[in-house]
Amino acid sequence: MASFLVLALALFASGTWAVDRGNFKTCDQSAFCKRQRALKPSESPYRALLETMELTNTRLTLQLINDNNKVRLLLELYRLQGNMTRVKINELKPLKPRFEVPDVLIRDPPTEPLSLLSQDENGVVLSLGSESQRVILSARPFRLDIVEGRDVLMSLNSRGLLAFEHLRMRKDTFSYKVTSTVASVWDNIKRVFTSQADPESENKEEVDPANQDETAKEDEDKVEDGMWEETFKSHSDGKPSGPSAVSLDFSLPGVEHVYGIPEHADTLRLKTTENGDPYRLYNLDVFQYELYNPMALYGAIPVMLAHNTQRTTGIFWLNAAETWVDISSNTAGKTVFGKMLDYVQGSSETPQTDVRWISESGIIDVFLMLGPTPKDVFAQYASLTGTQAFPPLASLGYHQCRWNYNDQEDVRAVDAGFDEHDIPYDFIWLDIEHTDGKRYFTWDPHKFASPKEMLQGLKDKKRKMVAIVDPHIKVDSNYKIHNEIRSRGFYIKNKDGGDYEGWCWPGSAGYPDFTRPDMRAWWASMFAYDQYEGATDNLYTWNDMNEPSVFNGPEVTMHKDAMHGAWEHRDVHNLYGFYVQMATMEGLIQRSGGVERPFVLTRAFFAGSQRLGAVWTGDNAAEWDHLKISIPMCLSLGLVGVSFCGADVGGFFKSPSTELLVRWYQTGAYQPFFRAHAHLDTPRREPWLFGPENTALIREAVRQRYTLLPYWYQQFYNTHQTGEPVMRPLWVEYPEDTATFAVEDEFLIGRDLLVHPVTEEGSRGVTAYLPGKDEVWFDVHTYQKHNGAQNLYIPVTMSSIPVFQRGGSIIPRKMRVRRSSTCMEQDPFTLIVALNPQRTAVGELYIDDGHTFSFNNKEFIHRRLSFANNILSSVNLAPEANFSTDSWVERILVLGASKPSKVTMKTADGQESQVEFDFDASMSVLTLRKPGMNAGADWTVTLQ
């Protein structure tokens, strides 16, 4: 058996296989998806019982009844602060509680008053605050419409696809027969006495919600494959409560573009799914995944954004079970000519996108984010689940990783190689081989015998390390972590009550139940310096395999009938990685006494994971299409809160050509998380191993990243405050420009930098779309000015990274690149002032200590930089804050400038001095040399 396991793990680790799609379910192979998808749009069997309606200051409740089986549901409707509506649907009297997702919302969302505008036998109309915004609840069939003025923003159950499989007892069991016999006798007794007391009662509609079996129709007795037990390959999934799926459809009039619901290796704009599988949300370890399909990957965020030129809205489906999302559109498949023909012929059909969510268990709990702008939707979602954690500045630098650096000498040699070749980096990473036999929180006693000495060597150079800590625990009675977890009863249980075990990297492994707060607290305590032997304050953590990955499990993950206390794994599956990262993050914070910001990378994630750290796009391949797909994958994550995203530079599997490797570095340098990583079986690919010419190209890409660290850091501070994505699609800033709606080969960093990486092999040029009808863009390398609202062809060489700064912006840089970001902490700034056609520009500068939570105590500098009327000024945006810096402004470039006769600078104490300058008339670039003011001070520079 042991030899078989070793062989199986070796095969799994081999990079020669592509994804075996047969290991993962299609909708037809997922019983609940197949069952629900078989329901076609029609009149809904559900109606609202208006006589049960209760309206308080904070919510509306009423009962829904399914006329096919008489099962009743409870509808709750809330108007939330910030232009959101929450809709919850649960069984009125479930056989046992149904799972409701905890810990994802940062608080109980504050409500605002609902008021009744009108009511009749057909339904009710409620006000959502403003006179023009209303909820129309139709009774027969049940339907919700959210309306603003004459426009329907969103409809629920308009296609009649609401489905709620109620929990029930299996009818062929002894306990059911006893219960139903007793109930039947009691019902007969009640019926006799009731009919004697009220002769008309037999004609009345049955209103007892507990009396479901008596009134259920034949479909209640019908048992379909997969309702009580499901088999996939050799794996059996027992379902003691039977079918429990929930489903609801949403119609979005006027919408042709929807986005989000990561993680999928697919286009930014979501495709329609009528002719294939729905998009699947089910965290899975998908080995060398395929591109451009709706298969599930490592993470699942059930949030979709809808956008047109008038409005942006969002749907947040709060459910942690396996979920499928169907998308259809009445304009799908129509060519541009077809749409023009509709217009010429006067076709009045309004574009509409219909979305259907199907989850295996839990309840319907959905948040409708009504915008109206993209940034309103970001703020609305952030108010529910929080914003991106503000990372340590060093984590925005470059990360060097592979599976695996062999030993301490290897780490030392790689570290020295970066210095020898003058390439900066901040973090070096260790994968699973650094441990003692895949026992996490340990070090290989031969290869990493002196971890503190190794970490101190990095610290002396102001560098850091990340070591992997996975959530599968080697079953070994000599392993402290395993013994502690087992003795405390913290392992997930199998359906028979024993500790669940599966295969992963250590061989036989147990899986801690991270849904338990006491388990998470214990795990966090293991990162303390007196527990994690060899750890120091410059060691950070990486959680991999936390979907969870179970090599011998169904779909390479955990059996759904495993137990987390009272809940089945099917209820909580997509939360597992979220909880692993949460516990790890808490451990890193606690070890410093709550002082230091953590850095934790995760592969699996859910809604709210943005609060916990960074994610990456998993086990990609060294192929050009994988380079291209990294852009829409990270853009999709940013739209739903996760800004700290990146892809393995160079590709994890296979070996990149030198051209692909260079282009990947050039792309990765402009994506939020910048890490190179490679598989165990690939040749070494440190940046200097491909000849001096390619080393120079990679060095330049990495150095460009480091010069922009002040801007990156400012963008992460902004997303931490607002929820706006750092790396964002063009349509977010240009919401009325339809030419931007499907662009996914270029992106913005913040508002002001546009990046169009070169992602085609052998490319001699790229065509970039520069948005903004009345705007200008400046090439950041040449300072050449280009008008907006055009497709610009850009000739490229191997050194080209097409990047443009928006006219009207001011971007801070640090041009003195050193070996790590920490070495640059007190270095001077260069300000790049790019003027718009009105000859104005604005920007910000944010500075703090770069690594602690002191910014929460107002220990930072936040300044507004503005240029107008030939005066450049720096004004304090946070007068109540208190922080000082030694950094100063050593250079200012004004792009699109005119030549002044003289330049003067005035500081806060009234001192005035002249500033030396150069003017390049051919490019209209004014360079101010060594103005010398402190970066945290008030000052003005006047061009005369």
Q: Which residues are catalytic?
A: 544, 619
Contact between 95 and 241 under an 8 Å Cβ cutoff? The reply is yes
Q: Which helix (H) or strand (E) holds 7?
A: helix 2-13
DSSP three-state, residue 924: coil
Residue 322 has a CB neighbour count (10 Å cut-off) of: 26
Contact between 661 and 650 under an 8 Å Cβ cutoff? The reply is yes
Cα distance between residue 127 and residue 115, in whole Å = 5
Rg (CA), the chain: 30
Cα distance between residue 714 and residue 391, in whole Å = 11
Q: Which helix (H) or strand (E) holds 779?
A: strand 776-779
- CB under 8 Å to 569, separation ≥6 — which residues? 492, 558, 559, 560, 561, 562, 563
- CB under 8 Å to 120, separation ≥6 — which residues? none
Cα distance between residue 531 and residue 931, in whole Å = 51
End-to-end CA distance of the chain: 83
Cα distance between residue 65 and residue 219, in whole Å = 16
B/e letters for 115-140, b = 16+ CB within 10 Å, e = fewer, are eeeeeeeebbbbbbeeeebbbbbbbb
Q: For the chain, how many residues are written?
A: 944
Name the nearest CA neighbour of 652 among 404, 304, 876, 916. Answer: 404
Beta bridge partners of 75: 62, 89
Name the nearest CA neighbour of 802 among 761, 844, 745, 727. Answer: 745
DSSP three-state, residue 1: coil
Torsion, CA 317, CA 318, CA 322, CA 324, rounded to 10: 0
Cα distance between residue 718 and residue 735, in whole Å = 20
Cα distance between residue 600 and residue 808, in whole Å = 36
